[in-house]
A = this chain, B = another copy of it.
Amino acid sequence: MYKVKEVADLAGVSVRTLHHYDQIGLLSPAKADNGYRYYTDNDFIRLQQILFFKEMDFSLSRIKEIVGDPSFNEMHALKQHKEVLIEKRKRLDKIIYSIDQSLETYEGGRTMSHKDRFEPFDMKQIEEHQKQYAKETEQRWGNTEAYRESAKRTAAYSEEDWRRIHEESERIDQHLIDLMDRSSADPEVQKWIAAKQQHITDHFYNCSIDIFRGLADMYIHDPRFTKNIDKKKNGFAKFLHDAMHEYCDHHQ
């Protein structure tokens, strides 16, 4: 037999909460002559159950159904509820993504405008990309032969090599820009996206699907990239992103 505050302290909830649960008939302990609520061990166990489902983000009315009905299939309820939560999370994902988008618009428009004029050549982009992904790359591949070879390779590129590589990259992009009125799933589009991935793999590092997807995200997440890419053609970054994701979705 515990009094409200004891139970509250033990369970880590407020007294008001217990009052509330009593009020809505979710957990109604015995009442003594003095009007006090006295909780039994069973009440306490029931409270634990309630708190468990609450932790799972169930509504109190749902919890009442569940703990009230002994034939209720707990596992089914959990599975069902999990779907709801996943939807909620998806929604948050979308919102967060939208905020990123908006932030890019601001930052891309302000901080970058003057800096852009000092960027002589799009090649910087590739270099920056390399730097940015160098750490992660190293981490993913550890110190495999493949990575060391890749690092060696790019370090050994001559000016002429760089120019050639850049030209090839531009050519691929131009093809894609010409296809911007198509759907991202269009076979022709996908063909050039594949070429883009191959180009990176050929000249920089083994560009896995994971990394390629990350790259796609970066194109629209990092305002510096978005700006640079959209310079070629407005909306190109977004188009690339979508097409690359489409590609990755079908290649995993």
A residues neighboring B (CB under 8 Å) = 55-57, 74-75, 78-79, 81-82, 85-86, 88-89, 92-93, 95-96, 98-100, 102-103, 106-107, 139-142, 144-146, 201, 206, 208-210, 252
Q: Report Cα–Cα, A79/B103, bound state, in Å.
A: 8
Given contacts A82-B100, A146-B146, 8 further A-B contacts (CB under 8 A): A56-B98, A56-B99, A74-B106, A82-B99, A88-B92, A89-B96, A92-B92, A144-B206
Smallest CB separation, A104 vs chain B (Å): 10
Q: Is the interface of A mostly helix, strand, loop or mixed?
A: helix
- Whether B74 pairs with A99 at a CB distance below 8 angstroms is no
Nearest residue (CB) in B for A207 is: B142
- Whether A145 pairs with B142 at a CB distance below 8 angstroms is no
- Whether A103 pairs with B89 at a CB distance below 8 angstroms is no
Smallest CB separation, A15 vs chain B (Å): 25
**Closest 5 CB pairs between A and B?**
A144-B146, A89-B92, A75-B106, A142-B206, A82-B99
Smallest CB separation, A136 vs chain B (Å): 9
Which of B82, B141, B146 lies in contact with A96, CB distance below 8 A?
B82
Q: Report Cα–Cα, A78/B141, bound state, in Å.
A: 36
Smallest CB separation, A211 vs chain B (Å): 9
B residues less than 8 Å from A102 (CB atoms): 56, 78
B residues less than 8 Å from A85 (CB atoms): 92, 95-96, 99
- Whether B55 pairs with A98 at a CB distance below 8 angstroms is yes
- Whether B107 pairs with A75 at a CB distance below 8 angstroms is yes
Smallest CB separation, A208 vs chain B (Å): 5
Could you list some 18 contacts between A and B, CB below 8 A?
Answer: A55-B95, A55-B98, A57-B95, A75-B107, A78-B102, A81-B99, A82-B99, A82-B100, A85-B95, A85-B96, A89-B92, A89-B96, A139-B208, A139-B209, A139-B210, A141-B141, A142-B208, A145-B146
